[in-house]
Each structure stands twice: as C-alpha cells, then as structure tokens.
C-alpha cells in the first residue's frame, strides 16, 4: 500500500468546538494544524481590510497546506469554518494534486452550548462574539456542500471522546469510513 497523507478540514459554526478539537487532534497525532483565523488576524494587523484579509488568508491557508502535503508529504489539519463550498472544492483539488486523502470533520453542538462558549471565551479580534449570535437554525442547509463521507461529531461530549472518534475517522481508509460513525 502506498502512503497517502491526509488533509483534514474542520467545519462548523463559531463556538462549535472546531479549534479545540483541531488542536487536540493535531497534538494527539503529531500533525500540523493551520488556523485560518490566525492568518486573518495577522493580515488585518498588517493593515488589510477584513474582506481582503479573508481572501488572502484562504490563499495562504491552501498554499501552506499544499507545501506540507506535497513537498513534505505530511498530513495537515485546516482549522476553518468550511462554511462556503469553495473551501471544500479547493481542498478536494489539493488532495487530487497531492494524491492525499480528504477527511472532513463537521463539529456540531447544541445552540445553548454554542452560545455559552461564545459568551465565556476570551474576546479575539475579528472573531464572532455572543453579540453576533443568531443560533444559525439552518445549519444543515449551511453545510449541505460537505462530502457524504464527512464525520459529524457532537462536541458536547468530552474532548477525549471527540478526539478518539476523530482519530479513528482520520486514520481509517476510505473503504472503512462507513463504519466509523
């Protein structure tokens, strides 16, 4: 069997636990985690508008992921909301180019828990706060572009349990994915 690195794309609304799970999974597996928000914050701090920073941050996110997957043949986790179809499309194009495996983890949690997380976490620039909380009752519609093989994980469970489920999923071969959930 030929080794194929994995590209893991995190998906989910603000406060759904994406970053926490991405960091814990990356640490557990020894994989690089690239945070889209870190790139956006850096670009805005350098003087770019929020809109321009967002576009450039995604270009940088995928350029870094390409380097890690193709040049270094190492797995990588992208911490992004993946709210827009172009993110999954670019990820799919990248794994085709890198002969890698695409794994998408969609983090979900109850509306009340998301609201609590948003109201209790430290304020960060450009980051949604509880003031912007709408509940996003149409989450299924928002994320309908995710691949059928996506792992939907309720981050209301313990972090250890979430990491365990995510680990099994990202390490499974494509033929095994249907049994992971």
73 within domain boundaries? yes
How far is 176 from 15, CA to CA, in rounded Å? 30
Backbone angles phi, psi at 79, to 5 degrees: -95, 100
* pLDDT score at 131: 46
- Whether the pLDDT of residue 170 is over 80: the answer is yes
Burial 60-82 (b: 16+ CB within 10 A, else e): bbbeebbebbeeeeebbbbbbbb
Rounded to two decimals, the pTM is 0.87
CB atoms within 10 A of CB 98: 20
Which pLDDT value is given to residue 181?
A: 44
Angstrom distance (rounded) from CA 37 to CA 83: 14
Domain boundaries, position 94: 6-174
More confident residue, 144 or 175: 144
Q: Does 1 fall in a domain?
A: no
Indicate the pLDDT class of residue 1, thresholds 50, 70 and 90: low
Residue 167 belongs to some domain of the structure = yes
Rounded CA separation 38/93 (Å): 23
pLDDT at 146 over 90: yes
Specify burial of residue 124 (Cβ count, 10 A radius: 0-12, 13-18, 19+).
Answer: exposed
Give pLDDT tens digits for 43-70. Answer: 999 999 888 888 899 999 999 999 999 9
Contacts 24+ apart (CB under 8 A), 149-152: 149/103, 149/104, 149/174, 149/177, 150/11, 150/104, 150/105, 150/106, 151/103, 151/104, 151/105, 151/106, 151/180, 151/181, 152/106, 152/108, 152/181
Is 43 part of any domain? yes
> Tell me, what CATH number does 73's domain have?
3.40.50.300
Flag whether 126 is in a domain: yes
Instruction: Using alpha carbons, list the distances in angstroms from residue 54 to 61, 98, 134, 180.
Output: 10, 24, 21, 33
Residue 114 lies in a domain: yes
Q: What is the pLDDT of residue 94?
A: 95
Q: DSSP label at 168?
A: H
Whether residue 180 is contained in a domain is answered as: no
What is the tally of structural domains in the chain?
A: 1
- pLDDT, the chain, mean: 87
Is the residue at 179 inside a domain?
no
Q: How many angstroms separate the most distant Cα atoms in the chain?
A: 50
**pLDDT, tens digit, 9 for 90 and up, residues 64-114:** 999 999 999 999 999 999 988 999 999 999 999 999 999 999 999 988 898
């Amino acid at each position: 069997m030929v080794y194929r690195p994995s590209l893991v794309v995190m998906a989910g609304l603000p406060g759904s636990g994406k970053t926490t799970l991405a960091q814990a999974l990356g640490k557990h597996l020894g994989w690089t985690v690239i945070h889209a928000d870190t790139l956006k914050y850096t670009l805005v701090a350098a003087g770019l508008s929020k809109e321009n920073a967002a576009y450039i941050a995604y270009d940088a996110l995928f350029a870094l992921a390409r380097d890690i997957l193709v040049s270094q043949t190492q797995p990588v986790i992208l911490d992004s909301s993946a709210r827009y179809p172009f993110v999954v499309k670019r990820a799919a194009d990248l794994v085709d180019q890198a002969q890698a495996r695409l794994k998408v983890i969609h983090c979900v949690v109850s509306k009340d828990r998301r609201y609590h997380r948003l109201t209790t976490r430290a304020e960060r620039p450009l980051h949604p706060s509880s003031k912007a909380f709408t509940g996003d009752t149409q989450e299924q519609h928002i994320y309908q572009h995710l691949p059928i093989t996506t792992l939907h994980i309720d981050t209301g469970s313990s972090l250890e349990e979430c990491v365990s489920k995510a680990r099994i999923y990202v390490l499974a071969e494509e033929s095994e994915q249907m049994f992971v959930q």
